[in-house]
């Protein structure tokens, strides 16, 4: 692979990375009681808790919903990132990255 091709590929990768920064994935748990927004870079942007679902006598359920929503959001974000980066994986190996 020529230097020009390498530079071109790295520019494409940077473009995909910027797209991932802007992409927001929203996940719900507890029938909408908890919503998590996460970027394609696995950075949590927001956690929303609907107060109508909060039972102060059962905080454990709310904690599980939050944990489930965060785990699901991270998993979905990782899948999106992997799908977008897949076309570059073999070429990155050729570059030694």
Q: How many domains does the chain have?
A: 1
Instruction: Tell me how many degrees the CA angle 24-77-71 measures, rounded to the nearest 5.
Output: 110
Summarize pLDDT for 25-80 with one digit per residue, the tens: 999 999 999 999 999 999 999 999 999 998 999 999 999 999 999 999 999 999 99
Mean pLDDT, residues 80-86: 90
Which CATH number covers residue 9? 3.30.1310.10
Question: What's the pTM value of the predicted model, to 2 decimals?
Answer: 0.80
Range of the domain at 74: 3-95
Given pLDDT bands bounded at 50, 70 and 90, which one contains residue 9? confident
């Amino acid at each position: 692979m020529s230097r020009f091709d390498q530079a071109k590929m790295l520019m494409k990768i940077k473009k995909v990375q910027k797209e991932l920064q802007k992409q927001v994935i929203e996940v719900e748990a507890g029938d909408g009681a908890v919503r998590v927004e996460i970027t394609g870079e696995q950075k949590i942007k927001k956690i929303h808790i609907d107060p109508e679902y909060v039972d102060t006598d059962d905080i454990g359920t709310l904690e599980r919903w939050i944990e489930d929503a965060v785990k699901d959001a991270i998993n979905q974000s990782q899948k999106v990132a992997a799908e977008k980066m897949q076309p570059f994986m073999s070429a990155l190996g050729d570059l030694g990255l």
